[in-house]
Amino acid sequence: MNPAVRTIELTKTYGEDETEVRALRDVSLEIPKGELAVLLGPSGSGKTTLLNQIGALEEPTSGTVEADGVVLADLDDKGRTAYRLNSIGFVFQFYNLVPTLTAKENVALIAELASSDGLRRTEDVLERVGLADRMDHFPGQLSGGEQQRVSIARGLVKDPPLMLCDEPTGSLDVESGISILDLLRDVTREGERSVLIVTHNSVTAKMADRVIRLRDGQVIDQETNPSPADPEQLDW
């Protein structure tokens, strides 16, 4: 079985000559299907750059990114767009919701692009994330935790095999953050969906099936966790 994600000697540089910055250096890693993985590292370690590579938001300088056996560099522009739309669910730290649209409308924007039954799927997924009675509210009427749940619903509505989450609890209080991590863990248990969480918080790593540590653009350690902790039992 192909892994959800595999990178092979992945390198990304920006600029040239004296201004060249190597954000990723020969990164090789693998995330099996059905795992919750945490990519851990300090600011500037290359975490978001790696997420952008896996999400086909940027092209590598060298090396390979594979998603379920498909080499992303082999896709044309149309194929990359389809991959981002149908195979990836993105969750961001600052939610990226349209303030003039309700929770339902924010999710339906993506659902209707991906499926002819977008409205039904929108309502189903908002109920799934615990917002059945809040779907007609605007982002400004929702708490930070509720807005992040809308963001997760937007990522889930396409039923993607892979969720990419960039500091999903970074703007939340501890209680809301635990709730979001509980939800992401539950999402991983659905079928063969994989979730990759990027964070600088080492506590989050204790709830992961797999932990990948990044420093200065390089993988310095990868380990599996046979007994992931419950987020509510961790010392935040």
80-109 tens-digit pLDDT: 999 998 899 999 878 889 999 999 999 998
In this prediction, residues 61-87 reach a mean pLDDT of 93
State mean pLDDT over 131-159.
92
For residues 184-213, average pLDDT: 89
- What residue ranges do the domains of the chain occupy? 1-87+163-170+197-231
Which of 191-227 are b and which e, b meaning 16 or more Cβ less than 10 Å from the residue's Cβ? eebbbbbbbeeeebbbbbbbbbbbeebebeeeeebee
Type of residue at 217: G
Contact between residue 28 and residue 9 where contact means Cβ atoms under 8 Å apart: yes
The confidence band for 211, taking pLDDT boundaries of 50, 70 and 90, is very high
- State the Cα–Cα distance between residues 223 and 56, nearest whole angstrom: 25
The CATH superfamily label for domain 1-87+163-170+197-231 reads P-loop containing nucleotide triphosphate hydrolases (3.40.50.300)
Question: In terms of pTM, does the model score above 0.95?
Answer: no
- C-alpha neighbours within 13 Å on the C-beta side of residue 84: 14
Least confident of 117-121, 145-149, 159-163: 117-121
Q: What is the model's pLDDT at position 116?
A: 57
Q: Which two tokens stand for residue 189?
A: 């248990």
Q: For residue 76, is pLDDT > 60?
A: yes
